[in-house]
Structure 1
Amino acid sequence: MADFPVSSFQLDDDPPTVELSLRGLDPTPEWDGYTLVLTPDRADELAAALSSKAADARAGLIDIAFTDS
């Protein structure tokens, strides 16, 4: 897995959400379709990606925003 699929979104007036989406990813040595198995370094990379996206979401930098019209 080159980069972790981390994104953020917000639905209507709900709080922002950070999502790690593993659906549809092709199997790799790290991801077999059911379990994500990471080395300590890759676990650190995932934690950093989630922390960074959470900080962006708190700052209002949302990747996707959905509104009800």
Structure 2
Amino acid sequence: MRILREGDRIKIIDVPEVGKHFLGKTGIVFQPHGTGFDEDDVMVKFDDGGTGYWKEHQLEKTGFSEN
């Protein structure tokens, strides 16, 4: 069961050693689109403009975006 929904604000809390620069980044959850992603992936648009696919256990909900 998915806990995070589109529009939720999140923070990255768990990353592998090679991705430590993502730790603490914040963003907004969006619906995944396109092909080549796992059904359990969560698409995040970061506040600095980047995007990425993450697993829910790597994210912490911090609120809901009003935008």
TM-score bracket for the superposition, by shorter chain length:
under 0.3
Q: Determine which structure has greater relative contact order: mean sequence separation of CA pairs < 8 Å that are 6+ residues apart, divided by chain length.
A: 1
TM-score w.r.t. length of structure 1: 0.26
Q: Give the structure with the higher percent strand.
A: 2
Q: Give the structure with the higher percent helix.
A: 1
Compare CA radii of gyration and give the structure with the larger one: 1
